[in-house]
Amino acid sequence: MLHTPSGGAGQGAAATDSGLMSIGTVLNVLREEFPEVTISKIRFLEAEGLIEPQRTSSGYRKFTIGDVERLGHVLRMQRDHYLPLKVIREHLAALERGEDVRLPSLGRSHEAEGAPEPPGTPTVARIGRSELLAAAGIGADELAEWESYGLITPVAEGVYDAEAATVAALVVELGRSGIEPRHLRVMKAAADREAGLVDQVVAPLRRHRNPQTRAHAEARTKELAGLAVKLHAALVQSALGVRLP
Same-domain pairing of 172 and 227: no
Same domain, 198 and 235: yes
Write the single-letter amino acid at 22: S
Asked whether residue 87 falls in the same domain as residue 21, the answer is yes
Confidence (pLDDT) at 61: 92
CA distance 97 to 92: 9
Question: What is the per-residue burial (b if ≥16 Cβ within 10 Å, else e) of 73-104?
Answer: bbbbbbeebbbbbebbeebbeeeeeeeeeeeb
**How many domains does one find in the chain?**
3
Q: CB within 8 A of 112, min separation 6: which ones?
A: 126, 155, 156, 159
Nearest-angstrom CA–CA distance, 184 and 150: 9
| Same domain as 26, residue 88 | yes
| CA-based nearest residue to 143, from 179, 113, 167 | 167
Q: Could you give the CA distance from residue 227 to residue 225 in angstroms, rounded to a whole number?
A: 5
Q: Model pTM?
A: 0.50
Domain that holds residue 172: 109-179
Residue 127 near residue 165, CB atoms below 8 Å: yes
- Has residue 3 been placed in a domain? no
On whether the CB atoms of residues 26 and 231 are closer than 8 A, the answer is no
Give the rounded percent of residues in the chain with a pLDDT score beyond 90. 21
How many other C-beta atoms are found inside a 10 Å radius of the C-beta of residue 38? Answer: 13
pLDDT-derived band at 82 (thresholds 50, 70, 90) equals low
pLDDT of residue 18: 59
CATH number, domain at 13?
Answer: 1.10.1660.10
Residues 175 and 189 in one domain: no
Instruction: Please indicate, yes or no, whether residues 92 and 13 belong to a single structural domain of this protein.
Output: yes
**Confidence check: pLDDT of 167 > 80:** yes
Q: Does 16 map to a domain?
A: yes
Which of 71, 96, 121 corresponds to the end of one domain? 96
Instruction: Give the end of a domain, one of 163, 179, 195.
Output: 179
pLDDT digits (tens, 9 = 90+) for 142-160: 999 999 999 999 888 888 8
Looking at the fold, whether 13 and 91 belong to one and the same domain comes out as yes
Report the side by side order of strands in the sheet with 159-161.
107-108, 125-128, 159-161
Question: Domain for residue 2, yes or no?
Answer: no
Same domain, 158 and 235: no
Least confident of 43-52, 68-77, 97-106, 149-158: 97-106
Choosing from 96, 121, 146, the residue where a domain stops is 96
130: Cα within 13 Å, side-chain hemisphere: 3
**pLDDT of the residue at 123:** 45
Residues 30 and 92 in one domain: yes
Evaluate whether residue 101 is within a structural domain.
Answer: no
205-223 pLDDT, tens digit each: 878 778 788 788 888 888 8
Angle at 206 between CA 201 and CA 207, to 5 degrees: 110
Residue 156 and residue 117 share a domain: yes
Name the residue type at position 97.
Answer: R
Q: Is residue 103 part of a domain?
A: no
95 contacts 104 by C-beta, under 8 angstroms: no
Domain check: are 12 and 63 in the same one?
yes
Same domain, 115 and 167: yes
